[in-house]
Amino acid sequence: MKLIPPIDTYIWDKNSGHSTQTILNVISVTRDNVSKEAQNHGDPSKIWVSSNPCGAERLPPAILASESDLFPRKLYGKPSEDITIKPKYLVTFTVGQNQKPNIDKAVKKFSENFTILLFHYDGKTTEWDEFEWSKHAIHISVSKQTKWWYAKRFLHPDIVAPYDFIFIWDEDLGVDHFDAEEYIKLVRKHGLEISQPGLDHSSRGLTWQMTRRRGDRENDLVHGWGLDFAVQKCVEPAHEKIGVVDGQWIVHQALPSLGNQV
């Protein structure tokens, strides 16, 4: 009598690295505790867990996971030894190779507490190997797409859940006056869940006045909000949890980028 399907039909994702012994233990437990629901379905030879996602009812529940992450894994060894540091934050850049110097400067503003994720709109990834940090970054390449196209497809809530904050950045930002760790201290201090650095007045291109940096603040109150009228629905109360951080500011350089791709 066949109690379980072949092992190669199992799918597991939690931390992307269960050892063979872990999988065998799960299978053993499943074999010893054949689902009563399966018996109710009239076929005790099959696993059936109705609480599993649709289409995965025949998988042992211990193998499934509701969340994953972007932490790279080794191909061998103990899963518990895969990650020595789990970054608390994620920063993404949508990039083309013409802005490599700018991105190199920006990435160096983010510590090892950040996972670096590059979205390549020009299809060129190996050209970034000259930077040591690039060898440890995550690269996703799809030609001629914008940052929000990438975000909607690769930053699913179940994948980015381990991160406290996510930075979704462009490639044409000047960061001489920006410190990522100090920025996070400020947003935590003021309880901001959605925020952006203030934009210096030397910034080029179209800039909403609400996001312009102001140097005439005389207290620590949150004076304004409104990064985007759409995101106000993501947090409540929006006027307290969305803000522009003037203490850490950037420059929008409006350099030729994706818009100049043929």
Question: How many domains does one find in the chain?
Answer: 3
pLDDT at 123: 94
Q: Are 97 and 113 contained in the same domain?
A: yes
Q: Are 152 and 221 contained in the same domain?
A: no
Does residue 237 lie in a domain region? yes
Q: Are 161 and 103 contained in the same domain?
A: yes
Provide the 8-state DSSP code for 103.
H
Which of these, 16, 36, 29, lies nearest to 62 by C-alpha position? 29
Q: Are 199 and 235 contained in the same domain?
A: yes
For residue 21, what are the contacts with CB-CB under 8 A and spacing of at least 6? none
Among 107, 139, 171, where does a domain finish? Answer: 171
Q: Are 209 and 230 contained in the same domain?
A: yes
Among 116, 145, 171, where does a domain finish? Answer: 171
Q: Are 48 and 113 contained in the same domain?
A: no
Provide the 8-state DSSP code for 252.
E
Which of these, 236, 252, 235, 152, lies nearest to 199 by C-alpha position? 252
Per-residue pLDDT of the chain (262 residues; tens, 9 = 90+): 334 444 333 334 444 445 555 555 555 555 544 445 545 555 655 678 888 888 888 888 777 778 888 988 888 888 778 878 889 999 999 999 999 999 999 999 999 999 999 999 999 999 999 999 999 999 999 999 989 899 999 999 999 999 999 999 999 999 999 999 999 999 999 999 999 998 887 655 445 454 454 554 444 444 334 445 677 788 888 888 988 899 999 998 877 666 666 4
Q: Are 183 and 166 contained in the same domain?
A: no
Evaluate if pTM is beyond 0.85.
Answer: no
**CATH classification at residue 148:** 3.40.50
What sign results for the dihedral spanned by CA atoms 109, 114, 171, 238? negative
pLDDT at 208: 45
Which of these, 154, 38, 5, 162, lies nearest to 92 by C-alpha position? 154
pLDDT at 21: 55
92: domain range?
A: 85-171
Instruction: Show the 3-state SS of 170-204.
Output: CCCEECCCCCHHHHHHHHHHCCCCEEEEEECCCCC
Yes or no: say if 210 and 223 are a contact pair by the CB < 8 Å rule: no
pLDDT at 82: 80
Does residue 160 lie in a domain region? yes
Does residue 128 lie in a domain region? yes
Does residue 90 lie in a domain region? yes
pLDDT at 23: 52
Does residue 79 lie in a domain region? no
pLDDT at 47: 79
Does residue 24 lie in a domain region? yes
